[in-house]
Amino acid sequence: MAQVKMTVRMLAAMMKISIEEMARRAGIDPSHLKQVSAGNVRMTAEDLIRLSKLTGVDPEDID
């Protein structure tokens, strides 16, 4: 069975906060995370680790 990847938008919805608030809590520039969410830029490894720590979702499950 394939594992479902969590998007930035899905992670924010899971936490019931905005993408901007999630970025602030994770220590990521909010405008950068919004660009990641829109598919305009790629997430860095550091972003991935920070989001994983914040949400408790394994890094390999975040897209």
Range of 32's domain? 8-61
Residue at 43 is within a domain:
yes
The DSSP string of 7-60 is PHHHHHHHHTS-HHHHHHHHT--HHHHHHHHHTSSPPPHHHHHHHHHHH---GG
Number of compact structural domains in the chain = 1
Residue at 16 is within a domain:
yes
Please write the tens of the pLDDT for every residue from 4-32: 789 999 999 999 999 999 999 999 999 99
In angstroms, the CA 2 to CA 41 distance is 25
Where residue 51 sits, what CATH number does that domain have? 1.10.260.40
Which pLDDT score, from 0 to 100, does residue 3 have?
A: 73
Residue at 41 is within a domain:
yes
Which pLDDT score, from 0 to 100, does residue 4 have?
A: 78
Residue at 3 is within a domain:
no
Q: End-to-end CA distance of the chain, in Å?
A: 18
- Whether 51 and 8 have beta carbons less than 8 Å apart is answered as yes
Residue at 14 is within a domain:
yes
Which pLDDT score, from 0 to 100, does residue 45 have?
A: 95
Which pLDDT score, from 0 to 100, does residue 2 have?
A: 54
Residue at 1 is within a domain:
no
Residue at 40 is within a domain:
yes
